[in-house]
Amino acid sequence: MTRTEPLFSHVLALTDGVGIFEHARLRLPRVEHGYCVDDVARALVAVCRDEPSAADRSQGRVLEPAVMAGLADVYLDFLESAQAPDGAVVNRRDAHGTPHGPATVEDCWGRAVWAFGTAAARSRDLTRADRAAAAFRRSAVRRSPWPRSMAFAGLGAAEMMRVDPGDEVARALLHDAAAAVGPFRGDREWPWPEQRLTYANAVLADVVLAAGDTLNDSELVDDGLEMLDWLLTLQHPGEHLSPTPAAGWATGEERPGFDQQPIEASTLADACARAFELTGDARWSAAVDLCAAWFFGRNDAGTSLYDVGSGGCCDGLERHGRNENQGAESTLALVTTLQHSARLAAVRS
């Protein structure tokens, strides 16, 4: 692995005055495909977690605090305008910035709630934090029938409770998010709460851990750690990470599977970083490094997904190489994974 610090240069290149473009052809944003809340929410989480790193400055790609603040404001504006009066969210905007499609409580809602909670808890700008908190409350009263949507929203509720443990709206949402995941089953062959691994799998364990920690429920913490232990063991069969492929995976199917998506490594890094914070167990810190190393070639294809020229991340790992396009989801997955890796490296030093 050649980098330990996140680099925001490609995030900046994909962003204009409206939001972050969803897709790219190689390094260039595909403007014609427009924007989506899912990626803008990911971007707001990332910029609220971080400031420009020394590595960025040493390579002449400095993003001054004012630039990072400007990105945060663009992303928050986008997400606020995506909210319907009842708290549901319209996911997409076209190339002209015009919203289209229904307002829903699908993943876009959950990710928006996560981003609002993160911005409210971590923004240094008090006006932005207040706006994000108000937006959080507008959407946090809703519920989704989809466990992952609830899990994303629950992570936002956990962020809100960092700054206000008495926030009853956040508490209720976090409780319901953990319940939506369902119990960790004691089946030795398949203990996961779903019949099949699909996408962003580790977010289910992450929100259970967050709920257990924030709501002072040790049984939930234990459940979350068991879930994460099983998932990590399954996806670490040898010396490197082998994530669940885009088509999902269940017992009896071929491994390794392709194409592998950066979001799997990043959600696993999120959950393992939280597990380390809760337990201090070095295994979880090492697992974050394992996730980071996956981006740099310690993977089933022996191929780096990181583009040193752009600071971006390729969109998927194939059996014999990589998808060369560098869209927002993949690049933000790299950034957020490296945020955890760099922070834990500093703790260890």
How does pLDDT run across 196-244, given as a tens digit for each residue? 999 999 999 999 999 999 999 999 999 999 999 999 999 999 999 999 9
Q: 323: closest CA among 15, 13, 24, 5?
A: 24
- For helices 126-140 and 107-122, the axis angle rounded to 10 degrees is 150
Q: What would the pLDDT profile of 330-347 be if each residue is shown by its tens digit? A: 999 999 999 999 999 988
The bridge status of strand 28-29 relative to strand 99-104 is unpaired
8 A C-beta contact, residue 194 and residue 179:
no
What is the pTM for the complete model shown? 0.95
Mean pLDDT over 42-62 rounds to 64
Instruction: Based on DSSP, count helices (H) and strands (E) in the chain, helices before strands.
Output: 13, 7
Mean pLDDT, to the nearest integer, of 92-102? 95
Residue among 254, 237, 249 at smallest CA distance from 299: 237
The mean predicted confidence, pLDDT, of the chain is 93
HSE, side-chain direction, 13 A CA sphere, residue 11: 33
Nearest CA-CA partner of 215 in 165, 260, 265: 165
The model's pLDDT over 122-177, given as tens digits with 9 standing for 90+, comes to 999 999 999 999 999 999 999 999 999 999 999 999 999 999 999 999 999 999 99
φ, ψ at 50 (rounded to 5°): -140, 165
